[in-house]
């Protein structure tokens, strides 16, 4: 028997146009979301430009740039001037994110404005909910999360994205939005958000590291995938319009499992640590940032994500 193969997969790999004809996964800017941090004082970040903080003026300039490069969607995070036990800065009418929304919405009517709904940037202790007797109290946190989501919608958010991981938050937010006339505002639930070591650079940018303990009492155990599917299922039953897996690269199997189990739009968050690892390795001369970023983002899509939140969204606009 001849060892010369009849089937030669290399035939379609010979040239770029041949490869293009059979490519299974493509990146397109209209499925990318750029996270942005807004704060009373700007804070540049040369090493990790995606983790810079903007004040309102700086934000408008940055978004001018993003819109001009055809970025379609933003995810806003706020760093308030003051933090307290009730996370007042998260839900007050003139909170920093609410101000940003009111400035952005009329100026960039074509941009999709998403907001992260969580309390950790706004609580004095840095936890994602209300702390009672040293513990994050699930049900007491729901009311503040719902209030935060409504205030974002009132200020002009198109989509609210709860990232707190309290049980029942999607239902509480859906009910509050509907009660306030925002029945058309979608919820993108961070359904399977893991207690991950890859959030480090974010917590510095957002000044949201917990002052005591960690988030393992509410975020998911990295070892679990069936539990992620239960989280997604519950969020969808409570009215989530889209679900999210976070982080992305260490959890491609979870993205794939969610893709196969659910029909809803599926998002993945390519988090700060994933971005920082590539950035620092590129700075050391060990790998090419653009190639590594495009490969990472393609892998996330190939695993089954529809939309991707990534700090590379701005660069992607130039690369594609
Ligand atoms: C808020 C929140 C976090 C991230 C998104 N929303 C941090 C955390 O849970 O500690 C992380 C995003 C990133 O690392 O890029 N709860």
For the whole model, what pTM was predicted?
0.97
- Mutating to test ligand 1, I would choose from 53, 118, 129 the residue with most ligand atoms within 8 A of its C-beta, which is 118
**Residue 83: active-site member:** no
Give me the residues paired with residue 242 across strands: 188
pLDDT of residue 3: 86
Angle, helices 169-179/138-155, rounded to nearest 10 degrees: 40
Best of 202, 203, 278 for a ligand 1 pocket test (most atoms within 8 Å of beta carbon) = 202
Tokens 């976070």, residue located: 246
Angle at 186 between CA 126 and CA 263, to 5 degrees: 105
Res 1: pLDDT: 63
199 pocket-lining for ligand 1 (C-beta < 6 Å): yes
* 81 has a pLDDT exceeding 90: yes
The full length of the chain comes to 320
Q: Whose CA is closest to 33, among 318, 237, 311, 241?
A: 311
* CA-closest residue to ligand 1 atom 14: 199
**Mean pLDDT (the chain, rounded):** 97
> How far is the centre of ligand 1, averaged over its atoms, from the C-alpha of 50 (Å)?
14
Find out whether the peptide bond into 247 is cis, omega within 30 degrees of 0: yes
The single-letter DSSP state of residue 111 is S
Picking from 148, 160, 12, 156, the residue whose alpha carbon sits closest to that of residue 88 is 148
Structural domains in the chain, CATH included, are 26-319 (3.20.20.70)
Q: Is the CB of 315 under 6 A from ligand 1?
A: no
Q: Where are the beta strands (DSSP E) in 194-289?
A: 242-246, 266-270
pLDDT tens across 271-319, in order? 999 999 999 999 999 999 999 999 999 999 999 999 999 999 999 999 9
pLDDT for residue 2 is more than 80: no
Instruction: Enter the tokens of residue 311.
Output: 């700090």
Chain CA centroid to CA 64, Å: 21
Return the ligand 1 atom nearest residue 198 CA. Answer: 14
Give the mean model confidence (pLDDT) for residues 238-249.
98
Tokens of 117: 């709904």
Give me the catalytic one of 246, 279, 301, 314. Answer: 246
pLDDT category, 44, cuts 50, 70, 90?
very high
| Residue 205 beta carbon below 6 angstroms from any ligand 1 atom | no
Q: Of ligand 1's atoms, which has the minimum distance to the CA of residue 116?
A: 6
Which of the listed residues 48, 77, 208 should we mutate to test ligand 1's pocket, taking the one with most ligand atoms within 8 A of CB?
208
- Cα 211 to averaged position of ligand 1 atoms, centre (Å): 15
Convert the pLDDT of each residue in 134-180 to its tens digit.
999 999 999 999 999 999 999 999 999 999 999 999 999 999 999 99
Pairing of strands 135-137, 130-132: antiparallel
Q: Checking DSSP bridges between strand 159-162 and strand 135-137, what pairing results, if any?
A: unpaired
Q: Please, what is the end-to-end C-alpha distance for the chain in angstroms?
A: 47
Instruction: Return d(Cα 124, Cα 181) in angstroms, integer.
Output: 31
pLDDT over 90 percentage in the chain: 99
Tell me if 50 sits within 8 A of 314, measured CB to CB: yes
**CA count, 13 A, side-chain hemisphere, 69:** 19
Cα 236 to middle of ligand 1, angstroms? 21
Assess whether the C-beta atom of 274 lies below 6 angstroms from ligand 1.
no
301 is catalytic: no
Residue found by looking up tokens 């933090």 in the block: 83
CA of 19 to the centre of ligand 1 (A): 37
């Amino acid at each position: 028997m001849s060892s010369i193969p009849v089937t030669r997969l290399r035939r379609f790999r010979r040239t770029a146009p041949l490869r293009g004809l059979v490519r299974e996964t493509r990146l397109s800017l209209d499925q990318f979301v750029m996270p942005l941090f807004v704060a009373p004082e700007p804070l540049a970040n040369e090493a990790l430009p995606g983790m810079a903080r903007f004040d309102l003026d700086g934000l408008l300039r940055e978004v001018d740039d993003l819109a001009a490069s055809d970025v379609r969607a933003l995810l806003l995070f706020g760093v308030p001037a003051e933090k307290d036990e009730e996370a007042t800065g998260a839900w007050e009418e003139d909170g920093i994110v609410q101000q940003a929304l009111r400035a952005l919405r009329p100026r960039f009517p074509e941009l999709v404005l998403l907001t992260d709904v969580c309390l950790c940037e706004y609580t004095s202790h840095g936890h994602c909910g209300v702390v009672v007797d040293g513990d994050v109290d699930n049900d007491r946190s729901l009311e503040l999360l719902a209030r935060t989501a409504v205030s974002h919608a009132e200020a002009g958010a198109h989509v609210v994205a709860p990232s707190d991981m309290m049980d029942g938050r999607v239902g509480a937010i859906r009910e509050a939005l509907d009660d306030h006339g925002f029945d058309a505002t979608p919820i993108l639930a961070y359904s399977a958000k893991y207690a991950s070591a890859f959030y480090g650079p974010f917590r510095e940018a957002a000044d949201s590291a917990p002052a005591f303990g960690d988030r393992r009492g509410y975020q998911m155990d990295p070892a679990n995938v069936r539990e992620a599917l239960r989280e997604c299922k519950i969020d969808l039953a409570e009215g989530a319009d889209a679900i999210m897996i976070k982080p992305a690269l260490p959890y491609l199997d979870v993205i794939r499992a969610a893709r196969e189990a659910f029909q809803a739009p599926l998002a993945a968050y390519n988090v700060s640590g994933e971005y920082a690892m590539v950035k620092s390795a590129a700075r050391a001369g060990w790998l090419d940032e653009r190639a590594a970023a495009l490969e990472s983002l393609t892998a996330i899509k190939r695993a089954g994500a529809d939309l991707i939140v990534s700090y590379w969204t701005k660069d992607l606009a130039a690369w594609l």
